[in-house]
Amino acid sequence: MSYAIIGLGKIGTAIAQAFAHQGIEVIVASRRPVDALAAQIGPSLIPRSVEDAVKADVVILAVPFATHRDVAQAAQSWQGKLVIDATNALGVPPEELDGLPSSAFIARSLPGAQVVKAFNHLPAATLAQGPKAPQGGRRVIFVSSDDDAASASVATLVDRLGFAPVQLGKLNEGGLLVQARGNTWGRLIFQDLVRFD
């Protein structure tokens, strides 16, 4: 299974650090070259162009919401890919999303891909602190998707990265707790929760 993170800004870097800490190979790409930043984060990061990065089996979207269409156009096909949507559509009027959850709206640009929302609910600076909470236990990452198998697969990745996955179900059900709608945040956004195993 190959992984890629598109966007190596604040949230992309925090996710990349999680991969680096576990020594898991991950391709990273941005509009500008990211070679120096990738080398700084860790040796398991592989800098590539966006066009090469979207060939990975699992593509993590860590770009501003509005630019998801640019990323969508970079792949010849999204068929069979797993896309992890870490974006938030704060400030986007719900009518511009045709009333859909933001990840479901993004999914329309990625025909054939399974889209899972994850890694979007914590501030990047909190996520960058890693999976171990100061009070003990593992920091929670929420996972939601309209595809149960894809959700389970991302939960496994979250666990492998050391975090505690909590699956919320479908995007327009539990997923609404971790997305922005217009100028309103879902109630679980910014909740830095911990699971004691």
Ligand X SMILES: NC(=O)c1ccc[n+]([C@@H]2O[C@H](COP(=O)([O-])OP(=O)(O)OC[C@H]3O[C@@H](n4cnc5c(N)ncnc54)[C@H](OP(=O)(O)O)[C@@H]3O)[C@@H](O)[C@H]2O)c1
Q: Which is nearer to ligand X, 19 or 65 (CB)?
A: 65
47 binds ligand X (CB under 6 A): no
11 binds ligand X (CB under 6 A): yes
Tell the smallest beta-carbon distance from residue 161 to ligand X (Å): 16
52 binds ligand X (CB under 6 A): no
Match 């889209």 to its residue by tokens: 115
Tell the smallest beta-carbon distance from residue 189 to ligand X (Å): 8
109 binds ligand X (CB under 6 A): no
Beta bridge partner(s), residue 85 = 61, 117
Tell the smallest beta-carbon distance from residue 88 to ligand X (Å): 3
| Interface positions, 142-171, toward ligand X (CB under 6 A) | none
Residue nearest to ligand X (CB): 9
Q: Pick one of 1, 2, 10, 112: the residue that binds ligand X (CB under 6 A).
A: 10
Instruction: Identify which of 28, 20, 95, 101 has the alpha carbon closest to the alpha carbon of residue 59.
Output: 28
List CB contacts of 21: < 8 A, sequence separation 6 or more. Answer: 42, 130, 161, 162
Please report the sign of the dihedral spanned by the C-alpha atoms of residue 157, residue 161, residue 165, residue 170: negative
Beta bridge partner(s), residue 141 = 165
List CB contacts of 40: < 8 A, sequence separation 6 or more. Answer: none
